[in-house]
Structure 1
Amino acid sequence: MENAEPDWLTAHREKHPEDFEPRSSRRGGFRPGVSGNPAGRPKGSKNRKTLLAEELQKDGSELARVIKEAALAGDTSAMNLWAQRLEPPLRARAAAVEFELDPDKPLHEQANQVLVAVSEGRVDPETGRMLIDCIQSVAGIRAVDELEARLIALEEKQA
């Protein structure tokens, strides 16, 4: 059996021979390295996002009022939109804690004070971890300061 072309393809080939020409010989095709718009985008033209933002600035308060009224009337879609877009997202905040932390003690003893406060339930574990991370950051800063002071002292000795 030879590779016979289906009737619909033969009919299409006869009706639209340009679809079957090699791309390089087609009229109106893009050529490599040649822009279809050599002048580029016109200066001052705005994309859809910019146009939408400008419209929202003009009518934003009215739109917010309508959405708020719909939400208060029980429209769950409006409630969802209000919650997601118009109100800032809630952020987790650590509650204020009070416990004894002696700032004059060495950093490792301060970290131990935090661990004791966590173990006694005066500080929750997440807050304790954050406090120990802060103490560790201070330790790193102190180490850099000490290295800098030692380096300056060595340079002064050699000078």
Structure 2
Amino acid sequence: MVRVVIDKALEGDMTAAGLVLSRLMPPVKAQSEPVQFNLDPELPIGKQIEAVLGAVAAGEVPPDVGQQIIAMIGTLSNVRKNEELEQRIIQLEAKEIT
């Protein structure tokens, strides 16, 4: 079956050629250009998001990239909250033991 498709592609069948190429080369994913702007990771989460929004408003960062950065900041915020809760639980459990 595979050989038949390859032969058809070699004979000029564009549908077969497309099928062969789709298996040999993964589709190209769109990627944004890297952006650089000042973002202090030590700032509170709200201030970081304000900085991203400011960079978007100033044209330093495209809106779609700004949205992705804000989503990443939100994810980091959730991770930090979970780590903080974990530490609190550890401390409370340690107090119960002593």
Q: Does the C-alpha gap of structure 1 residues 149 and 118 become closer, same or farther in structure 2, counting only changes over 3 Å?
A: same
Q: Indicate if the aligned counterparts of 1:68 and 1:82 stay in contact, CA closer than 8 A.
A: no
Which ranges in structure 2 are unaligned for 5 or more consecutive residues?
Answer: none
TM-score (norm 1): 0.51
For 2:27, the equivalent position in structure 1 comes to 89
One-letter code aligned to 2:42 = D
Say what the alpha-carbon RMSD is for the aligned residues.
2.6
Q: Which structure is higher in RCO with an 8 Å CA cutoff and minimum separation 6?
A: 2
Give a deviation string over 1:89-148, Cα, whole Å, max 9, x none: 121212111111112212221111111001111111111011000000010011011111
TM-score (norm 2): 0.79
For 2:86, the equivalent position in structure 1 comes to 148
Which ranges in structure 1 are unaligned for 5 or more consecutive residues?
Answer: 1-51
Give the structure with higher Rg (CA). Answer: 1
**Paired-residue identity, %:** 36
Matches within 5 A, 1:68-147: 70=12, 76-77=14-15, 80-81=18-19, 84-147=22-85
Per the TM alignment, residue 84 of structure 1 is displaced from its structure 2 partner at its CA by: 4.1
For 2:9, the equivalent position in structure 1 comes to 67
Q: How many residues align?
A: 97
Larger helix proportion of the pair:
2
One-letter code aligned to 1:110 = Q
